[in-house]
Structures are given as structure tokens and as C-alpha cells.
Amino acid sequence: MSGFHPSCVLYFKQEKAVKKSVKRNIAIGAVIGILAGAAIVIYLFNMPQRDVQATKTDFSLAASTVVNEYLSNADSANEKYLQEDGDSKILAVKGQIYSITEDLKHQKVILLKDSAEKAGVSCTFTSETNAHVSSLLPGETVTIKGVIRSGAGYDEDLDLYENVIMEKCDIIK
């Protein structure tokens, strides 16, 4: 650079410093972005779950009522039983036990349904509430508290009715 004018040398040094500063600022911004993203993920992962059993019940109704509401008009049933944020309101559903099974996660599942009905309410218990099912038998009438995961419907392709699915369930005594 000895053949360059001193002001050109100064310009090149300043340009190098600006490029270095821009690269440093981009790196700092990327690190801050990664840390903020990680903090959000950690917060969402550790966010406390809603305690359905400790919360007040929004609706108490018969299993056949909620099934018929979904089969007749799923949109209005969703408006009634779902909150604006998409979470289900808490329901206490009373019905006759049609069957008691266990899912792949070893959670008890009770189907509330009369034999004459097309669909019922499938209630999935949690690992904490599984033990409350052990003394129950098909044919008994029980009230189960939980939240709706999906409503009843009719599948034309399979020509069968789908049950209302509730989760985080427990027996109300």
C-alpha cells in the first residue's frame, strides 16, 4: 500500500473496521436471538398444565346430550364447549359404562354409551387417576369430569360414528 495516497489507506482501514463491526453486530444479534428462542422453548416446556380436576365444572350433562349436540351441529357444539383460545371447557358427563379398556400409554379408557346409541363419550384417564377405575364395571352409571378433545361425528367413508373424546378424566364421587 505504499503507492497509495495516505487518505486512501485511511479509507481502507476504516472500511475494514466497519465491516468488522457489522460482522460483530450480526454475530451478537444471532446469539441474542438463539438465547431468546431457547428461553421461550424452556418456558413453554415447563409451563404448568391446567389442573382439570381442581377447576370448577362448566357444564354437567348426560353423555347422550353432548353426543347428540355434536351429531346435530358440530359448529354450535364447539362454540358451546370450547373456549376462545381453543381449550375445552370442563365437563361433568353422566352415563352408563359400555366398556373399560386401556390405551397404548396404559391409561384407562371408559366408553359411556347405551347399547342403543350410535356414538358415546370416550373418557381417557391419566396415570394419576387410573386407579379410580379399578372398581368400576360395565353397566354402572357414573359421572366423569374432563375436557373434550374432539366431538362426535359420522365418517361416511367408513360408515361409522365417532365418539366424543374426553381426556384428563376422573370419576366424580
**The CATH number of the domain where 155 resides is what?**
2.40.50.140
In this prediction, residue 83 carries a pLDDT of 76
In this prediction, residue 48 carries a pLDDT of 66
Residues 66 and 43 in one domain: no
Query: What is the pLDDT averaged over residues 71-75?
Result: 91
* Residue 85, in any domain of the structure: yes
Which tens digit of pLDDT belongs to each residue from 101-149?
Answer: 999 989 999 999 988 888 999 999 998 898 898 889 999 999 999 998 8
- Check if the beta carbon of residue 95 is closer than 8 Å to that of residue 62: yes
Question: Cα(48)–Cα(150) distance, rounded to whole angstroms?
Answer: 22
Question: Cα(144)–Cα(1) distance, rounded to whole angstroms?
Answer: 85
In this prediction, residue 154 carries a pLDDT of 83
In this prediction, residue 134 carries a pLDDT of 87
Q: What total of structural domains would you count in the chain?
A: 2
Residue 79: is it exposed, middle or buried by C-beta count within 10 angstroms (0-12/13-18/19+)? exposed
Residues 31 and 87 in one domain: no
Residues 116 and 149 in one domain: yes
Question: Cα(135)–Cα(148) distance, rounded to whole angstroms?
Answer: 24
Which tens digit of pLDDT belongs to each residue from 58-71?
Answer: 889 999 999 999 99
In this prediction, residue 156 carries a pLDDT of 84
Quote the domain boundaries for residue 9. Answer: 1-47
Residue 5 has pLDDT above 80, yes or no: no
- Check if the beta carbon of residue 76 is closer than 8 Å to that of residue 122: no
Give SS3 for 48: coil
* Residue 52, in any domain of the structure: no
Residue 152 has pLDDT above 80, yes or no: yes
Residues 37 and 63 in one domain: no
Q: Percentage of residues in the chain with pLDDT exceeding 90?
A: 44
- Check if the beta carbon of residue 80 is closer than 8 Å to that of residue 66: no
